[in-house]
Structure 1
């Protein structure tokens, strides 16, 4: 009989590209992963992986087995959720992956609420902007607080359930005293020195897309994904920054914020879990807490909804 844990290792190795990377993600030694994969190979009687440069790739038999493994692992997840639903209580542990820009205004309030409502629940929070939904599909995390910018198509992986939380606009941030709080036409920024994220990030792409729509190429002497650095440059009068509303503490001294009036740049924040037919009480509790925290933020941010993808 096939071992579910070994199937999960095969899936992880395939996604990570190497046994070493999979071992690191699984918290195991590379030797332990290799031994389990060798045992899986003996179980099926055929090679499942082959060298591919510095990585590994599936053989044809490995590809076929992985297709079945995805369905088997999904069924196991469904069974776990069904049992948890019958039990009707929140579990003991859950892992949340969240964007750095959401920690202060959404994640921290949500974790506080979870601590009050479910004191026995231990939440491990991974603050990262890298491949959260892939980590969700691999089972490395249980809930993702992610984002999608309005100009990008919906690329939600199969088997993932998404709950929209908040439409979050980017605001124009300058040093206090350099501008008033009136809405800013995006083309006005053509004459500004800007601090923006790299073009390789979703936010950087969204900003460049908006500039293109507005018909200009911006001057961007400061390239950084660090929002604290962007705000510091703005406060010093060295640059104008474009920062998501939820990432700005309203009490931050020395800055002034203004909305964009003509080409708004919006991101949709969402909570994502692995899709199951039966609601898992533990992940549902986390999503509910994130939704409550986002609702408080929504009361402060009055923006039009995102256009369809």
Structure 2
């Protein structure tokens, strides 16, 4: 019988890429991880790992075993959820992650509701980029997290995670008051300087792709990973930028917000099999209630679980 803890290490090596990263995620030493993976290979009786230069990679058999490991780990997660429901009551620690622009608008009212309705829960919040969510959920540093993508830059689903839709929101083109809206707002700013997220972020990618769809490549003047900073730079005449609805409740004077057809889509993510855990279910209820109270936001879809996670950084 294969050891589940070793299967988890193999699965994490497949996702994280290096033994050092797996060791850091589990607070092990790299040598301890190597020893456990070697033991798993002996248990399996076939080669699961091979060297590629100075790195260790998975063989095709190792990758196939990872796919089975995902199923096993999801089943164990579901079993834990069943036991938690049978014990009754809601208590213990719930670790919730959210991208920065959701913490104030979505997460705070949800925390208040959870604390009021389930006072025995110990709630812990972490602000992080969606790109970090899959690893944080797999490593059990988070139990529930908010992730997002854009309809024009969809993110590939993560096989280790399930999710439910939360909300869709409008993306705005933020311009200075001296610019006037047109029937084609993106093309009207093709010659403008742009304020975009750092390279590698989803916000950076969506700006470039939106420009390409409008027939131009944005001229990047500033990088800012805080939407408040983007709006402040726009107000100061430093360029234009894209901002989602959650970030524009109090725009500075001198900024005109032009709604675009682009939509940002937020989902509630958790480990596969964990959706039936009472604490996860209560968190989903609280987050959806908070989203329903947001002016202008549109609750997305139904609560039918679907595999999803983030693959690029966002705000």
- In the superposition, the TM-score normalised over structure 1's length comes to 0.82
Cα separation, partners in 2 of 1:278 and 1:149, compared to 1, 3 Å: closer
What is the SS of the residue equivalent to 1:232? Answer: helix
Deviation digits for residues 15-54 of structure 1 (CA, Å, limit 9, x no counterpart): 2112210011112232332333343334334543222234
- What is the aligned partner in structure 2 of residue 300 from structure 1? 296
Q: 1:268 aligns with which of 265, 270, 273?
A: 265
5 Å-filtered alignment, 1:120-269, equals 120-129=120-129, 130-133=131-134, 135-137=136-138, 139-153=140-154, 155-158=156-159, 160-174=161-175, 178=178, 185-198=185-198, 200-250=200-250, 253-260=252-259, 263-269=260-266
Q: Is the 8 A contact 1:166 1:294 kept in 2?
A: yes
Partner Cα separation in structure 2 for residue 52 and residue 81 of structure 1 = 39
Q: Is the 8 A contact 2:169 2:298 kept in 1?
A: no
Partner Cα separation in structure 1 for residue 206 and residue 275 of structure 2 = 36
Partner Cα separation in structure 2 for residue 60 and residue 184 of structure 1 = 49
Partner Cα separation in structure 1 for residue 299 and residue 76 of structure 2 = 41
Q: Which region of structure 1 is more displaced relative to structure 2, 140-149 or 34-43?
A: 34-43
Q: Is the 8 A contact 1:89 1:282 kept in 2?
A: no
Alignment RMSD (CA, Å): 3.1
Cα offset, 1:123, TM superposition: 3.1
What is the SS of the residue equivalent to 1:169? Answer: strand
Q: Which region of structure 1 is more displaced relative to structure 2, 18-27 or 230-239?
A: 230-239
Partner Cα separation in structure 2 for residue 185 and residue 303 of structure 1 = 26
Cα offset, 1:200, TM superposition: 3.7
Q: 1:288 aligns with which of 278, 285, 289?
A: 285
Q: Is the 8 A contact 1:50 1:57 kept in 2?
A: yes
5 Å-filtered alignment, 1:3-18, equals 3-18=3-18
Cα separation, partners in 2 of 1:153 and 1:193, compared to 1, 3 Å: closer
Cα offset, 1:66, TM superposition: 2.7
- In the superposition, the TM-score normalised over structure 2's length comes to 0.81
Cα offset, 1:92, TM superposition: 0.8
Cα separation, partners in 2 of 1:222 and 1:254, compared to 1, 3 Å: same
Cα separation, partners in 2 of 1:127 and 1:255, compared to 1, 3 Å: farther
Cα separation, partners in 2 of 1:75 and 1:285, compared to 1, 3 Å: same
Q: Is the 8 A contact 1:149 1:266 kept in 2?
A: yes
Q: Which region of structure 1 is more displaced relative to structure 2, 153-162 or 263-272?
A: 153-162
Cα separation, partners in 2 of 1:54 and 1:111, compared to 1, 3 Å: farther
Partner Cα separation in structure 2 for residue 83 and residue 303 of structure 1 = 31
- What is the aligned partner in structure 1 of residue 309 from structure 2? none
Cα separation, partners in 2 of 1:183 and 1:104, compared to 1, 3 Å: farther
Cα offset, 1:179, TM superposition: 5.7
Deviation digits for residues 238-272 of structure 1 (CA, Å, limit 9, x no counterpart): 2222211102342x544534233xx4221111112
Cα offset, 1:203, TM superposition: 2.6
Cα offset, 1:281, TM superposition: 0.8
Q: Is the 8 A contact 2:150 2:265 kept in 1?
A: yes
Partner Cα separation in structure 2 for residue 49 and residue 91 of structure 1 = 41
- What is the aligned partner in structure 2 of residue 73 from structure 1? 73
Cα separation, partners in 2 of 1:272 and 1:216, compared to 1, 3 Å: same
